[in-house]
A and B are shown apart, each in its own frame.
Chain A
Amino acid sequence: MALLQIQEPGGKPARPKHRLAVGIDLGTTNSLVAARCGLKVETLPDEGGEHLLPSIVHYGSDGLISVGKKAKTFALTDPKNTLVSVKRMLGKGLSELRQLGHYLPYEFDAARDDTAPAVLTRAGSKDPVSVSSDILSALKARAENALKGELEGAVITVPAYFNDAQRQQTKEAAELAGINVLRLLNEPTAAAVAYGLDSADQGNIVVFDLGGGTFDVSLLSLTRGVFEVLSTGGDTNLGGDDFDRLLATWLIAQSGDAAVSEGEALQLANDLKHQLSDVEEVKFTMGDYRGSLSREQFAEIAKEPLSRAMMICRRSLRDARLELDEIDNVVLVGGSTRMPLVRAAVAEFFGREPLTSIDPDKVVAVGAGIQADVLIGNKSDSDFLLLDVTPLSLGIETMGELVEKIIPRNTTIPVSRAQEFTTFKDGQTAMALHVLQGEREAVADCRSLARFTLRGIPSMVAGAAKIRVTFQVDADGLLSVSAEETLTGVKSEIQVKPSYGLEAETIESMLQASQENARADMELRSLQEAKVDAMQLIDAVAAAVIADPQLLEEGEEQRINQGVAALAAALENGSSAEVSDLTAALNRISGDFAARRMDAHISRALQGESI
């Protein structure tokens, strides 16, 4: 076996001294940059002392691009030139964005393809990649200013559930900003790193990330500096906003017919939610109504989203094959984990107090900063290592519009997996390959990532060519696919750079649907497989009848044709059992003829003739 040279532990050349590298948390609402300052890795403030940079870009009439707080002031007065929450647009098509119902006050560039949307601003056509790159440029400038030197590299965080397209575009945005991307790092993994190095050096860690609109939970094991992601899960429709909505509904119900709009109620709910993080009880007025709200009451109101989050935690434990008592640490990420009721629920569920010493808004950036410092080579090699996983299964389309999974989800990356396929028809010289991402079995239910064609396959009978398809996912979670005909070495490959990818909500619903539909998929699969078998048999029989008509006995051709006709009819609308039965019947009918052909070929071969 030709295995590669593997470096023996302990034999690594020394590297030069301190180089500047940062961690960047490129968030939907706010972004941060962190770097090593002396002994600690900390987030870097701007000149005004602010650590959070609002992820907003404004293109001014004076040609000036402003990013952050200043850009935010234009959100109401000049919305068409003020881009907010572009992270939601990464890796998506325009029709997909419209479908999702995000706030889009922009004018989209009609000259652009639907799959590559861009917003028309006074500074020209701006796509999500270039807007993200403006945010990253601002962070780069802030870091170079604070660190007094040129950046050599950065680690940029992405949600664990980001698909291939979203990761690709994040990387492109960084490259556009002139940043050397050392690694794309999953946000929960970064959070675990931020805590992992200061606390226990061994054990299982839960990262509980509750943001404004999304919830993520990851389970990692840490052993002597190696972080291994065991499972990752979440709900892209569960976050702090749900708590606001439920509280607003309660407020309206309490105040009876007090004349307040839903918007006012939501605003009040959000205020009360924040106040309850500091005090046990708050008083409020709503129109003429005066009332009070205690933490206990709020916990009762927010029961449903909380129990949903705990259910997801239970499922992730199961995915990771861990029991509750095997959890050693719980890390909190995201502003919504500031709510005491969330902390209490997490503590109760896991039977331990969560770690809260690092600001939940900064913890991801800090973790990325630590990783950047290691990757650029400032720390000694054996300090720590991250072993992350693929969030979604990757596969290829096979006959019958089914997906053959080549890399299942939660596989440790980097990973390279190969599978052999063969030709379906005699004389087939090209094979179209369709790369998909998702958990379901039918092509229509998965996300299409790329299509390419392997040409120049030598003409052979069906099933003789051997096409080896290799999927490679690198340490950034990015996929490349290659195909090779193994007899002749004809090759084709592609770096999967789709123009748009999956919406996180779609991923979640696809995951749920894949479980609900497992049974339906199995039935579909058996029908499709039966159909493929049937079609192959029909092709083979038809070819044989044309090739060796002299070997047919009297009436045999008619019987065979009847069998073919019956099977062809079943292919139209028969069940998998009917198709299988008629395939077997046609096999029986044509069996003698096939045996005679085989004998004739063998005797011809023995006489030295070519077949």
Chain B
Amino acid sequence: MQVPEDYFSLFSLERRFEIDKKALTANFRALQNENHPDRVAADDEQAKLLAVQKSSLLNDAYATLKSPLARAGYLLKLRGVDVESVSQGDLDMGVLLEQMELREQVAEAPAGEAGLAILSPIKRDIENRIAAREQRFVANLEADDLVSAKRVFHELQFLHKLFQEIEVSEEKRLGY
């Protein structure tokens, strides 16, 4: 394979947010099958080292494209947007209020398994919000509005983080 330009072309995918997940996984596995260190386990150190590098790159690329949030960040990075730094201008007041509201709802869930019934619809709600934000992200990217796209990306980061925190709290209630 020629030196690929980016992770999308590595897996023969179009450079866009909505991707064919089945094709991503199938292409990843086919490439990993050929480039994995297991294929050169009986060869010399040089070959092994190279295989580790190739295989690591494939794993990283796959993990980046598999996760919708990481994929969104990567798309922005490819467009030259610095997603690591967040300034206050990147966020609007409404988002902070939304976060506070959602977090209050989570905090109101009673301790123990009783709280699960409260948390479950909040999770569904957050999933819906994420889906709506993803659509906006796609639209912003298509319209070349990178400032709005970056803003939506940070909003997605907040929602994903909250979702993860709820999952941890659920696991605690389930005694995991």
A interface residues (Cβ-Cβ under 8 A, vs B): 1-12, 19, 152-153, 182-183, 223-226, 311, 314-315, 318, 374-377, 381-382, 385-387, 411-417, 472, 474-475, 515-516, 518
Q: Do the beta carbons of B42 and A475 come within 8 Å of each other? A: no
Residue-wise, chain B 45-58 has the 8 Å CB interface mask toward A (1 for contact) of: 00000101111111
List of A residues within 8 angstroms of B4 by Cβ: 3, 6
List of A residues within 8 angstroms of B53 by Cβ: 4, 416
Q: Do the beta carbons of A223 and B36 come within 8 Å of each other? A: no
Q: Do the beta carbons of B32 and A381 come within 8 Å of each other? A: no
With A226-B29, A315-B176, A413-B59 known as contacts, the answer to whether A19 contacts B42 (CB < 8 A) is: yes
Question: Of A223, A374, A475, which is in contact with the most chain B CB atoms at under 10 Å from its CB?
Answer: A475
List of B residues within 8 angstroms of A311 by Cβ: 175-176
CA distance A223 to B25 in the complex (A): 10
Q: Do the beta carbons of A224 and B42 come within 8 Å of each other? A: no
**A515 in complex: contacting residue of B3, B30, B171, CB < 8 Å:** B171
List of A residues within 8 angstroms of B59 by Cβ: 387, 411-415
B25 to chain A: closest CB distance in Å?
Answer: 8
CA distance A19 to B42 in the complex (A): 10
Q: CB of B128 within 8 A of chain A? A: no
Question: Of B32, B50, B52, B171, which is in contact with the most chain A CB atoms at under 10 Å from its CB?
Answer: B52
List of A residues within 8 angstroms of B42 by Cβ: 19, 152-153, 182, 375-377
**B1 in complex: contacting residue of A8, A411, A416, CB < 8 Å:** A8
Q: CB of B34 within 8 A of chain A? A: yes
CA distance A374 to B52 in the complex (A): 18
16 contacts between A and B (CB under 8 A): A3-B10, A4-B3, A4-B53, A6-B58, A7-B1, A153-B41, A311-B175, A314-B176, A376-B41, A376-B42, A385-B29, A412-B62, A416-B56, A474-B52, A475-B36, A475-B55
With A8-B1, A414-B56, A515-B168 known as contacts, the answer to whether A382 contacts B41 (CB < 8 A) is: no
CA distance A4 to B107 in the complex (A): 48
Residue-wise, chain B 1-29 has the 8 Å CB interface mask toward A (1 for contact) of: 10111100010000000000000010001
CA distance A2 to B10 in the complex (A): 12
Given contacts A9-B31, A315-B174, A414-B52, 9 further A-B contacts (CB under 8 A): A4-B3, A6-B4, A6-B58, A7-B31, A7-B35, A19-B42, A385-B32, A416-B53, A518-B172
Residue-wise, chain B 74-110 has the 8 Å CB interface mask toward A (1 for contact) of: 0000000000000000000000000000000000000
List of B residues within 8 angstroms of A2 by Cβ: 3
Q: Do the beta carbons of B63 and A411 come within 8 Å of each other? A: yes
CA distance A531 to B100 in the complex (A): 25
List of B residues within 8 angstroms of A153 by Cβ: 41-42
CA distance A224 to B41 in the complex (A): 21
Q: Do the beta carbons of A10 and B34 come within 8 Å of each other? A: yes
List of A residues within 8 angstroms of B50 by Cβ: 4
A300 to chain B: closest CB distance in Å?
Answer: 22
Q: CB of B39 within 8 A of chain A? A: yes
CA distance A522 to B41 in the complex (A): 43
List of B residues within 8 angstroms of A226 by Cβ: 29, 32-33
Q: Do the beta carbons of A417 and B60 come within 8 Å of each other? A: yes
Mark out the residues of chain B between 151 and 175 whose CB falls within 8 Å of any chain A CB in the assembled complex: 168, 171-172, 174-175
Q: Do the beta carbons of A472 and B52 come within 8 Å of each other? A: yes
CA distance A303 to B13 in the complex (A): 51
CA distance A52 to B143 in the complex (A): 67
Chain B residues touching A, majority SS: helix
List of A residues within 8 angstroms of B73 by Cβ: none
Which residue on B lies nearest to A476, using beta carbons?
B37
Number of residues of chain B lying within 8 A (CB) of chain A? 38
Nearest 5 pairs between A and B by C-beta?
A375-B41, A416-B56, A475-B37, A7-B34, A315-B176
CA distance A3 to B59 in the complex (A): 13
List of A residues within 8 angstroms of B6 by Cβ: 1
Q: Do the beta carbons of B10 and A6 come within 8 Å of each other? A: yes
Question: Of A7, A11, A315, which is in contact with the most chain B CB atoms at under 10 Å from its CB?
Answer: A7
**A8 in complex: contacting residue of B34, B36, B57, CB < 8 Å:** B34
Residue-wise, chain B 108-121 has the 8 Å CB interface mask toward A (1 for contact) of: 00000000000000
With A414-B56, A416-B53, A472-B52 known as contacts, the answer to whether A3 contacts B33 (CB < 8 A) is: no
CA distance A511 to B35 in the complex (A): 33
Q: Do the beta carbons of B60 and A415 come within 8 Å of each other? A: yes
With A10-B34, A226-B32 known as contacts, the answer to whether A475 contacts B3 (CB < 8 A) is: no
B112 to chain A: closest CB distance in Å?
Answer: 14
CA distance A6 to B56 in the complex (A): 11
List of A residues within 8 angstroms of B145 by Cβ: none
CA distance A6 to B91 in the complex (A): 40
Q: Do the beta carbons of B176 and A516 come within 8 Å of each other? A: no
Q: Do the beta carbons of A472 and B1 come within 8 Å of each other? A: no
CA distance A8 to B33 in the complex (A): 10
List of B residues within 8 angstroms of A387 by Cβ: 32, 36, 59
A472 to chain B: closest CB distance in Å?
Answer: 7
List of B residues within 8 angstroms of A518 by Cβ: 168, 172
CA distance A374 to B33 in the complex (A): 12
CA distance A516 to B171 in the complex (A): 10
Q: CB of B38 within 8 A of chain A? A: yes
CA distance A3 to B4 in the complex (A): 6
Q: Do the beta carbons of B52 and A5 come within 8 Å of each other? A: no
Question: Of A12, A226, A374, A376, which is in contact with the most chain B CB atoms at under 10 Å from its CB?
Answer: A226
CA distance A203 to B42 in the complex (A): 29
Q: Do the beta carbons of B33 and A6 come within 8 Å of each other? A: no
CA distance A377 to B43 in the complex (A): 10
Question: Of A225, A387, A417, A518, which is in contact with the most chain B CB atoms at under 10 Å from its CB?
Answer: A387
CA distance A8 to B54 in the complex (A): 12
Which residue on B lies nearest to A183, using beta carbons?
B41
CA distance A516 to B59 in the complex (A): 31
Q: Do the beta carbons of B55 and A5 come within 8 Å of each other? A: no
Q: Do the beta carbons of A516 and B172 come within 8 Å of each other? A: yes
Which residue on A lies nearest to B56, using beta carbons?
A416
CA distance A90 to B172 in the complex (A): 33
A324 to chain B: closest CB distance in Å?
Answer: 15
A303 to chain B: closest CB distance in Å?
Answer: 16
